[in-house]
Chain A
Amino acid sequence: MKRATKVSIGLCFILTFIAACGEKLPKAPLEKTTLQLKWQHQSQFAGFYLAQEEGYYTAENLAVEFIEGGPGIDPAQVVGTGQADFGVVAPEDVLIKQSEGQDVTAIATIYQHSAVVFATLENSGIIRPKDFKGKTIAALGDGSMRDFELRLRVLLRKTGLDMTMIQLVPYDPDYKGFYDGKVDVTPAYLSGGVAKMRRKGCKLNLIWPDDYGIHFYSDVLIVSRKLLEEHSDRVVRFVRASLQGWRAAVSDPDKAVQVTMKYARIRNPDLQTDMMQALIPLVHTGEAQIGWMTAEAWQHMYDIMENQGLLSAPLPELTKVYSTRFLETIYGAKGQ
């Protein structure tokens, strides 16, 4: 009895000692990594902010730096040239960059549906793509705004129209022409411009390309092929923490907005809340796990891009364009 007590006390000491040592062992330094955002700081990226602020990245031993996007910045280019490890871009960009020979790969999609809509004033009578004929549309752009123009081209072709039948003018993120009536149709993000315009008091008709057989992801997470192959462990950790952040954002939009306000350029919490409310259904559809991608969806996007002749060279296979193995690692093979 006595002996047993002594032995157990001894064990306790040893275990405590080991535990103490374990605590004192210096943690490996955080791995630095960078995320190139598609646009300026706003609710659109709330999940990433949450992952940062709630310590999900730190828990995965990552120190993430956000690089803001904006006019004139091509995020896919930044990632493709290795200036950033990860990026948030439009899926079209991934396909285009791949066809141009730049190796960036989509590893998750933040938005299951495209957030791109074409907005018209409610009393304009423009409620379907067919109504675009002869109208002034502010969809001309490049860099991160290129998807507006691309989407318009596809939508027009799908409707039986072409670019010659409309008046194409440059996209204006401030929508001045639209408010003044000089522009009839403007593309916008459901989670961005639409919220802004509605805040201004505009009553809008929204024409969603998805309703017309054009199914695109929006805001996909990309990584350079190099990082993907050489540091796939870091990629898994980054994706896992980011998606955890997005799940938290969907679960608690108020908090997501609160955290976003630390970053947001437009310091209007009501606007950011509107954006947040708009993007939640795009992120979480109820049909799949957050971030989940399917081969069919990518094939569909590729087919559209290919058919429209928007790719400089056809891609014989899409394995380089996207990779679901990280999602499968995180969620299991079936994404459940």
Chain B
Amino acid sequence: MRLFGKLFIIFLLFAVGPAMGLGWLAFINGRDFITRQATNHLVSTNLLKIAEFERWLDNNAANLEILAEFLDLQGGLAAAVPVHDMQDPQHQAYHQKITEKFLQPFMNQSGFFELFIMRAADGVILLSTDPRHEGKYRENRRFFQKGKTATFIENVYYSMALQEPAMTIATPVKDQKGDTIAVLAGRLNLKDLSEIISRSSGLISSENTYLVNKFKFFITEPKFGQGFALKKSVFTQGVIMALQHFEGTGFYADYRGIPVIGAYKWIPAWELCIITEIDQAEALAPIYLLRKKLLMIGTAIISICLAAGWILARMFIRPIRKLMEATRGMGQGRLSFKTDIFSRDEIGDLARAFENMAERLEATLVSRTDLQKEVVERKQIEAKLVRTLDELKRSNQDLQQFAYTASHDLQEPLRMISSYSQLLAERYQDRLDDKAHKYIHYAVDGAVRMQALINDLLAYARVNARTKDFSAVDSQAVLGTALGNLRAAIQESGALVTNDELPMVMADAVQLTQVFQNLIGNSIKYRGKNPPRIHISAQQEGQNQCFSVADNGIGMDMQYKDKVFAVFQRLHTREEYPGTGIGLALCKRIVERHGGEIWFESEQGRGATFYFTLRGVEGLNADINLGEQNREGKLSIETH
């Protein structure tokens, strides 16, 4: 989770947690209080209703007893009892007298809706306020059997005669002697009872009190529903508890399936349950209201906390986010920035330290960038150089190739010129005059000279064209070869050639021979009047060996130090000293090819010393030895 989210949730928890906790406590307390109040009300209602119920029964029973006494006092009944023939005029007279004078007036001001008198002997109804029932027998009814001895209240039962539930009170009627002659019974109007039981204070609209018999059937009409008495049975928790003779309260669903708070009580005297219930919805309405208010307050608190938490989290996060953005910028190379954080707290310090760091990093990076730029430039130049060099090499090679080819191909026609000129001179010797011979001689001489020139040029060109790889060469032995080649000239000139011990060098042995041969040859050629003395030595200069060829010849002016090394450049005429003028150019070219230099020191008439450098073998000794060993190894293998 992002830091913002975490901070936000923490703020929220700190703010909302206690608010919810307090709300919950308040709610629980309120609920307990209201529930206790409701159950107390229900329990007391039950007690009141029981008292009312019993008072209602007792009052009616007492009234009936008074009527029975009254009937007896009048004495009329005793005479009527034995007769009982509805057709008998005497009976009719009694009937009229008793019903009109006693029963009817009494009934009108009591809770009974039918009064009837049964003969004690057989239970036949002698007279009734409802004449239809007269003549019927009630001998097996409990109200008759029990009512013969004392006042009896028959619990609620279904009266077939009335086709509805009834309660009947019966009381004995005694004659003057105290014998029971009849039973006076009255049927109670259960609508009255229902009214008494279900009448509520009106403060709570869902308050519902009703009686249930031991068979779980309604006895009185409950507030919600009609025609339930003895027709509907009820299996709610309250009824079941009451039937087990428990008294208490509970939360359960009532006969309609609606959640109620109910108080139940068993009335042992009447074997009835009394139940008072109120809908939870109504009873708990104040709680719901409280809950609603708490929820609203809670919601408000949460909203405020949400906003506050959001703002606070933002306040904390914004500088961090800015720093983060700056860091990201740095990652992408943007080093000059301002975080715009001016706070004096730790985050402010961090931001400033960060800015500092960025600044210094930028400085470092700038110098580095310059260096990089330079490197790039140099590389570019180098590449250009290499390119130029390559071009140069190529053109040089082309040139060499051209020179080589040219000089090689030129020799053939030249040979033909000199051959045929000589053939002309020999064959027509007789017919040619001296002048012609002279011209032919010039032509041949020119051709020979040109041949020499071309040969030299070819040699010069060959320096680079036909080369062998460098190898370790004993310069002493090379000098020997050169001197061997010059033997005739040395003997003829009487030159004295001396040398120091010469080193091993990395060179093309053939070319090195040419260098010695040319330099020594020049020393002999340009000798003074004295016999030439030539000394060859070598001196180590770092990795290089610097050779010198010193003579006592005619020497030359140092102003020609460059000219003498140019191709076909000569300081003397051909007549004075023969030659093509390519020797030193060749030497220079060879030495330079070996990576060395060539120069001279001289004075007119005082001899000259030519120097040239070659790469020594010291640094490569190990390699050479190794190479020789290998060669030997190879040889030994071949021998086998």
Contact = CB atoms under 8 A, between A and B. Distances in A.
A287 B231 CA distance: 13
Contacts of B215: 284, 286, 288-290, 336
B158 A281 contact: yes
A287 B137 CA distance: 19
B355 interface: no
Given A128-B135, A247-B233, A280-B231, A210 B160 contact: yes
B214 A281 contact: no
Contacts of B161: 211
Q: Contact residue range for chain B?
A: 20 to 34
Contacts of B140: 213, 215, 300
Given A247-B233, A253-B231, A281-B163, A286 B136 contact: no
10 contacts: A212-B137, A281-B160, A281-B163, A284-B158, A285-B157, A286-B156, A286-B165, A288-B215, A289-B215, A300-B140
Contacts of B163: 281
Contacts of B123: 213
Contacts of A282: 160
Contacts of B139: 213
B146 interface: no
A38 interface: no
A251 B233 contact: yes
Nearest to B133: A211
> What is the interface of chain B mostly: helix, strand, loop, or mixed?
loop
A211 B213 contact: no
B137 A285 contact: no
A247 B214 CA distance: 14
A289 B215 CA distance: 6
Given A281-B163, A336-B214, A211 B231 contact: no
Interface in A274-298: 280-282, 284-290
Interface in B194-220: 213-215, 217, 219
A326 interface: no
B223 interface: no
A113 interface: yes
A48 interface: no
A251 B158 CA distance: 15
A282 B163 CA distance: 10
A211 B133 CA distance: 9
The 5 residue pairs across chains A and B that have the minimum distance between CB atoms: A211-B136, A286-B157, A213-B137, A281-B158, A251-B233
Contacts of A286: 155-158, 165, 213, 215, 217, 219, 230
A285 B136 contact: no
Contacts of B136: 211-212
Nearest to B138: A211
B157 A251 contact: no
Contacts of B213: 286
B132 interface: yes
A191 to B, nearest CB: 12
Interface string B148-161: 00000001111011
Interface in A214-256: 215, 247, 250-253
A127 interface: yes
A208 interface: yes
Given A211-B161, A286-B219, 11 more contacts: A128-B135, A130-B135, A210-B160, A211-B137, A213-B137, A215-B140, A251-B232, A286-B156, A286-B230, A290-B215, A336-B215
Interface of B: 122-123, 132-133, 135-137, 139-140, 155-158, 160-161, 163, 165, 213-215, 217, 219, 230-233
B475 to A, nearest CB: 93
A250 B139 CA distance: 28
Nearest to B165: A286
Contacts of A285: 157-158
Contact of A250 (B122, B132, B214, B231): B231
> What is the interface of chain A mostly: helix, strand, loop, or mixed?
loop
B155 to A, nearest CB: 8
A113 B160 contact: yes
A133 to B, nearest CB: 13
A280 B157 CA distance: 13
Contacts of B156: 286
Given A251-B233, A286-B165, A127 B160 contact: no
A282 B159 CA distance: 10
A265 to B, nearest CB: 26
A323 to B, nearest CB: 22
B297 to A, nearest CB: 41
Contacts of A252: 232
A288 B140 CA distance: 15
Contacts of A250: 231, 233
A250 B163 CA distance: 15
Nearest to A278: B163
Nearest to B235: A251
Contacts of A300: 140
Nearest to B140: A215
Contact of A287 (B132, B157, B219, B232): B157
Contacts of B135: 128, 130
Contacts of A289: 215
Contacts of A215: 140
A156 to B, nearest CB: 15
Contacts of A251: 231-233
A76 to B, nearest CB: 26
A288 B136 CA distance: 23
Contacts of B133: 211
A80 to B, nearest CB: 30
A220 B161 CA distance: 22
Nearest to A287: B157
Contacts of A281: 158, 160, 163, 230
A127 to B, nearest CB: 7
A287 B160 CA distance: 12
Interface in A322-336: 336
A158 B283 CA distance: 60
Nearest to A190: B160
A329 to B, nearest CB: 17
B255 to A, nearest CB: 10
Nearest to B139: A213
A176 B246 CA distance: 57
Contact of A208 (B160, B214, B230, B231): B160
Interface in A181-220: 208, 210-213, 215
Contacts of B219: 286
Nearest to B131: A127
Nearest to B271: A336
A203 to B, nearest CB: 14
Contacts of B160: 113, 208, 210, 281-282
B351 to A, nearest CB: 48
Contacts of A253: 231
Interface string A114-151: 00000000000001101000000000000000000000
A128 B86 CA distance: 11
A205 to B, nearest CB: 9
Nearest to B163: A281
Nearest to B255: A251
Nearest to B164: A281
